[in-house]
Amino acid sequence: MLFAAQPQLLTPVLQVIHRVIASFLVKQAGLKRSAAKTGAVTLIQRFGSAANLNIHLHCVVLDGVYRTTEGEPVFQQARAPTTGELQGLLVKIITRIMRVLTRQGYLIEEQAMSYLADIDVDNPLRALQAASCNYRIALGPRAGQKVLSLQTISRRGEPCTPPQSANAHGFSLHAAVRGGADQRKELERLCRYITRPAIANLPTNDSNAITPTMSCCN
């Protein structure tokens, strides 16, 4: 809801995420930050799988860095992150995002508790945004009731958890997909995925279908 009401906050948040991930990749490649550069393309998605309000980031990130050798950039692949490393990376991202939001006055910390500041309380869209974020009906005789949603359940009856992903405090980081430089169709499919609109005709039975390389959402 905060990012929906204050979209300008996505810029410093995205800067934090890219800075943390870039530093991690440089370290994975065994180089120093000053000696290497990495890159990413990010699209801001404002909807969830139920077309609800769910602002999150789809990022295609290089799985390595470029270092300069005799004036020519040379790509050096980084080691794939472990689940534990992803968890540590996510905790660092969350900590820095919280610090930015606190410094800008959108988050208040008191007595070891954090909560959002009461900003823009008269915005008529807040009630609609809150309902959409929480899968509830906003208007009409059924206002406040939960909407019907379908979820993927594993064979053991537990929610499916993507491999090589981390979750903490309502944030998640996913890094399970990799496409090689020569896998042009796979890379195109990945790019199409991160740019997809709210309503899209995506294949559901394609064994080669892939998901975002990295995404962080609130």
Q: Which of helix, strand or coil describes residue 96?
A: helix
pLDDT tens profile 145-172: 888 776 655 555 554 556 788 998 888 8
Query: Tokens 């009731």 map to which residue?
Result: 145
- Mention every residue, 6+ apart, whose C-beta is less than 8 A from residue 202: 193, 196, 209
Residue 184: what pLDDT?
92
Task: Give the residue, 213 or 179, on which the prediction is more confident.
Answer: 179
| Average predicted confidence (pLDDT) for the chain | 81
Question: Can you read off the two tokens belonging to residue 175?
Answer: 């890094």
- Taking each helix axis from N to C end, the angle separating 83-103 and 10-28, rounded to the nearest 10 degrees, works out to 150
Residue 41: what pLDDT?
92
Task: Give the residue, 206 or 196, on which the prediction is more confident.
Answer: 196
Count of helices and strands (H, E) across the chain: 5, 10
- The beta-strand segments (E) located in 40-168 are 40-47, 53-61, 64-69, 72-77, 107-110, 113-116, 165-168
- Mention every residue, 6+ apart, whose C-beta is less than 8 A from residue 47: 53, 54, 198
What percent of the chain shows pLDDT beyond 70?
A: 83
Please report, for the chain, the start and end positions of each structural domain, with discontinuous segments joined by +. Answer: 2-122+163-217
- With 0.85 as the threshold, say if the pTM is over it: no
Give the confidence band of 194 by pLDDT, cuts at 50, 70, 90.
confident
How many angstroms separate the Cα of 206 from the Cα of each of 11, 124, 202, 203? 35, 42, 9, 6
Distance CA 110, CA 216 (A): 26
Interior CA angle at 174 toward 116 and 84, to 5°? 95
What percent of the chain shows pLDDT beyond 90?
A: 24
